[in-house]
């Protein structure tokens, strides 16, 4: 900008230059609603609606024959979605499958790749991870008769917000069998250096997995080239698959052919599955890590949603996401400097995911006041307001208007009208 003070005209000028602006029309957004929670649940697109309705129509018209004869055959849907997802994570189609949820997929891959032997029994995670991942790791250790208090090592944060990769690497000792980390930390939005961690772990013979919940659909990955052993993700955040949308997983090609730790009927090779043999012949691709029958109606929206990502390009989405989070942070500093906010996410582009993390002592009540002003934010205990401008459907003017409404709340102390405590769902 030519001047230091950002204005609404600046936002409108950026919107006029935005090559992705057209995609906003593809999403259902209420008039005057500023939706800043796409990092928790993405909005519905018309394409996702269409492909969901197509699967419903296939059911209506074909009944059980929809598995093979529908417009979107169900039997191969998971593989088709995996093929469309692969470019977003830097993988070959054979390495990716759409299945399960983050936690069920995590159980599957830990059961497959956690092989404690001799002194090598420990798992390294982090102290800032989303609770579900830690629950899964603890339960897997217990299944092996190991005490999580001793065998789960959680790397601590030096500032309560971020992790130091060198500190993580220092914990990768000879007694560690596996490391699981988030790609982007869910509170602060810090993006970890996955390549560096993977290389350091492999030098010591340690299996490496990542939870991509807060990065897939927001930024590019190179999982295959980095040598990551496995990864899991959800699809209802940046990928806009809908509430409870079916998740996905990646297994590096060097591990394909490994028998799944948790075998099930859909682990089978497709041509052998209906032989009904009691000896499993696993698929030779990531399909082997499926367990039960695919959840078709929770998968179908992805067929449409992923069309948009492949068309728009993940590199373009990342470029806009970084520009928008930078624009938001500058506006927050410009307009809200005197109101007690701290920007808790990393400022450097290469260290930041897709959301801005604001800390404030009254965070819960401020979020309630924002909702009363038709802004949808996200609260994370104890004091974090997460704000996610989504490249496909958030404009720069939306960001500007959001900061204006937040400033009105702070100037008039409207947050004082609400209890500073989370609701049942935060």
Same domain? 264 vs 281 = yes
Q: How far apart (Å, rounded) are the C-alpha atoms in residues 161 and 383?
A: 12
Helices (H), 5-130: 8-16, 46-62, 66-69, 77-89, 102-113
Same domain? 238 vs 322 = no
- What's the total number of domains in the chain? 2
Same domain? 148 vs 273 = yes
Which run of H or E residues covers position 410? Answer: helix 396-411
Query: What whole-number percentage of the chain has pLDDT above 90?
Result: 96
The per-residue pLDDT for 1 is 41
Same domain? 12 vs 135 = no
Give the model confidence (pLDDT) of 327-360 as tens digits.
999 999 999 999 999 999 999 999 999 999 999 9
The per-residue pLDDT for 50 is 98
Residue ranges making up the domain that contains 409: 8-31+314-417
Q: Residues near 170 by Cβ (< 8 Å), separated by ≥ 6? A: none
Q: E strands, 303-408, where?
A: 342-343, 356-359, 375-376, 378-380, 384-387
Give the model confidence (pLDDT) of 18-72 as tens digits.
999 999 999 999 999 999 999 999 999 999 999 999 999 999 999 999 999 999 9
CATH number at residue 258: 3.40.640.10
Same domain? 300 vs 319 = no
Confidence of residue 423 (pLDDT cuts 50, 70, 90): confident
Give the model confidence (pLDDT) of 183-199 as tens digits.
999 999 999 999 999 99
- Are the CB atoms for 203 and 183 separated by under 8 Å? no
Domain boundary at 249, 278, 311, which?
311
Give the model confidence (pLDDT) of 275-288 as tens digits.
899 999 999 999 99
Give the model confidence (pLDDT) of 144-158 as tens digits.
999 999 999 999 999
Same domain? 372 vs 267 = no
Mean per-residue pLDDT over the chain, rounded: 96
The answer as to whether 100 is a domain residue is yes
Q: How far apart (Å, rounded) are the C-alpha atoms in residues 227 and 207?
A: 10
Q: Residues near 363 by Cβ (< 8 Å), separated by ≥ 6? A: 379, 382, 383, 384, 385, 420
Same domain? 220 vs 345 = no
User: What's the gap between Cα 357 and its chain centre?
Assistant: 16
Flag whether pLDDT at 320 surpasses 60.
Answer: yes
The per-residue pLDDT for 424 is 76
Report the DSSP pairing between strands 96-98 and 248-251: antiparallel
Same domain? 271 vs 343 = no
Flag whether pLDDT at 118 surpasses 80.
Answer: yes
Distances (CA, A) of 86 to 44, 95, 107, 321: 22, 8, 21, 20
Give the model confidence (pLDDT) of 221-245 as tens digits.
999 999 999 999 999 999 999 999 9
- Are the CB atoms for 102 and 213 separated by under 8 Å? yes
Domain boundary at 263, 291, 311, which?
311
The answer as to whether 425 is a domain residue is no
The answer as to whether 159 is a domain residue is yes
The answer as to whether 43 is a domain residue is no
CATH number at residue 357: 3.90.1150.10
* Residue 12 vs residue 4, higher pLDDT: 12
Domain boundary at 276, 311, 346, which?
311
The answer as to whether 112 is a domain residue is yes
Q: How far apart (Å, rounded) are the C-alpha atoms in residues 364 and 361?
A: 8
Mean pLDDT for 372-398 is 97
Query: What whole-number percentage of the chain has pLDDT above 70?
Result: 99
Same domain? 62 vs 168 = yes
The answer as to whether 37 is a domain residue is no
Report pTM: 0.96
The per-residue pLDDT for 138 is 98
The per-residue pLDDT for 2 is 45
Same domain? 294 vs 263 = yes
Same domain? 275 vs 360 = no
Indicate the annotated binding residues. 102-103, 130-133, 211, 214, 236, 265, 293
Same domain? 163 vs 265 = yes
Mean pLDDT for 209-219 is 98
Indicate the annotated binding residues for pyridoxal 5'-phosphate. 102-103, 130-133, 211, 214, 236, 265, 293
The answer as to whether 412 is a domain residue is yes
The answer as to whether 25 is a domain residue is yes
């Amino acid at each position: 900008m030519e001047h230091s003070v950002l204005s609404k005209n600046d936002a409108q000028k950026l919107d006029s230059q935005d090559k992705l602006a057209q995609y906003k029309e593809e999403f259902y957004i209420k008039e005057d609603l500023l939706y800043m929670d796409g990092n928790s649940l993405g909005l519905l697109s018309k394409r996702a609606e269409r492909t969901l309705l197509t699967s419903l129509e296939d059911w209506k018209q074909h009944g059980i024959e929809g598995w093979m004869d529908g417009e979107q055959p169900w039997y191969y849907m998971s593989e088709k979605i995996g093929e469309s997802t692969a470019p977003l994570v830097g993988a070959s189609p054979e390495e990716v499958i759409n299945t399960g949820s983050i936690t069920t997929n995590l159980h599957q891959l830990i059961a497959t790749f956690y092989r404690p032997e001799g002194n090598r029994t420990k798992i390294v995670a982090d102290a800032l991870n989303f609770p579900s991942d830690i629950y899964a790791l603890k339960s897997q250790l217990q299944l092996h008769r190991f005490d999580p208090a001793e065998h789960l090592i959680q790397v601590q944060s030096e500032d309560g917000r971020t992790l130091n990769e060198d500190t993580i690497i220092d914990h990768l000792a000879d007694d560690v069998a596996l490391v699981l980390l988030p790609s982007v930390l869910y509170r602060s939005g810090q993006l970890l250096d996955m390549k560096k961690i993977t290389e350091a772990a492999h030098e010591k013979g340690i299996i490496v997995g990542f939870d991509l919940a807060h990065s897939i659909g927001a930024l590019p990955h190179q999982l295959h080239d980095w040598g990551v052993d496995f990864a899991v993700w959800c699809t209802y955040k940046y990928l806009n698959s809908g509430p409870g949308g079916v998740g996905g997983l990646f297994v590096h090609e060097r591990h394909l052919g490994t028998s799944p730790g948790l075998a099930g009927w859909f682990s089978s090779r497709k041509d052998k599955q209906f032989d009904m043999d009691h000896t499993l012949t696993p698929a030779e691709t990531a399909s082997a890590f499926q367990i039960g029958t695919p959840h078709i109606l929770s998968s179908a929206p992805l067929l449409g949603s992923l069309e948009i990502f492949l068309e728009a390009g993940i590199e373009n989405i990342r470029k806009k996401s970084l520009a928008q989070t930078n624009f938001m942070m500058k506006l927050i500093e410009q307009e809200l400097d005197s109101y007690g906010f701290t920007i808790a996410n990393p400022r450097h582009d290469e260290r930041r995911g897709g959301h801005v993390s604001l800390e404030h002592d009254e965070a819960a009540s401020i979020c309630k006041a924002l909702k009363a002003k038709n802004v949808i934010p996200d609260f994370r205990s104890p004091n974090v307001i997460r704000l996610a401008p989504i490249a496909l459907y958030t404009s720069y003017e939306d960001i500007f208007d959001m900061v204006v409404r937040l400033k009105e709340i702070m100037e008039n102390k409207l947050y004082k009208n609400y209890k500073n405590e989370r609701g049942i769902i935060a």
